[in-house]
Amino acid sequence: MATEVARFERKHMFTTIGRTEGDIRFAEDQFLSPLHAKLSWEDGQLDVRDLGSRNGTWVFLEGPCRLTDGDLILIGSQILRFRRLGYPGPHHAEADATKRMGSMTPSADIASLTQLRTDGSSRDVIQLSPGRDVHIGRERGDWIFPYDPSMSAQHATVRSEDADFVLVDDH
């Protein structure tokens, strides 16, 4: 899939982008809202602000990215939400010495990734626990999306680093 690259000269402190409004317009892009995002330079860094667009504004990874609670991730055409669940603590012995049934491995789930439908509702969830990496792809991985042609065979990994999780682009 070829990608066209265009350069735009910055004429002001900030630049707005949209389909029909803004300093830079992309009239053919049906996924872009009429006025979509604002770009500005603040403290030597590019600041990207979504202006209430329907589809959000996405920033592509240039390296591993530590996930924080509420992050939305676009992998292929799938939108995934990262949530911190907290650490439940150790399992306490029961007062009457009866053992609990259920799997004690893998370790406790402390985060989750939720696949979101176009209306924002949840479809599928995968749990994340310390010491377990999760591979995501169209053909290979722990979580596969065979119906998503825009996803690579093995697209990304959510890597466990102690109690944190880091997103790595695999393609």
pTM of the model: 0.74
Angle at 100 between CA 96 and CA 106, to 5 degrees: 145
48 forms bridges with which residues in the sheet? 39
In the predicted model, what is the mean pLDDT of the chain?
88
Kindly provide the b/e burial profile for residues 12-37, where b requires at least 16 CB atoms within 10 angstroms of the residue's own CB: eeebbbbbeebeebeeeeeebbebbb
Token pair in block for residue 157: 């990994």
Question: Is pLDDT at 94 greater than 80 in this prediction?
Answer: no
Question: Is pLDDT at 1 greater than 60 in this prediction?
Answer: no
Strand ordering across the sheet containing 122-128: 72-75, 78-84, 111-116, 122-128
Token pair in block for residue 105: 């491995």
Higher pLDDT, 66 or 60: 66
Token pair in block for residue 49: 């602000």
In the chain, the DSSP E strands lie at 14-18, 24-25, 37-42, 45-50, 65-66, 72-75, 78-84, 111-116, 122-128, 134-137, 143-144, 156-161, 164-169
Question: Is pLDDT at 82 greater than 70 in this prediction?
Answer: yes
Domains and CATH numbers, the chain: 11-57 (2.60.200.20), 61-88+108-171 (2.60.200)
Peptide bond into 88 cis (omega under 30): no
- 95-148 per-position pLDDT tens digit: 677 776 776 665 688 999 999 998 989 999 999 999 899 999 999 999 999 999
Mean pLDDT of 3-11: 79
β-strand 14-18 against 24-25: which pairing, if any?
Answer: parallel
Lowest mean pLDDT, pick from 50-64, 68-82, 124-138: 50-64
Alpha carbons 93 and 110: distance in angstroms, whole number: 21
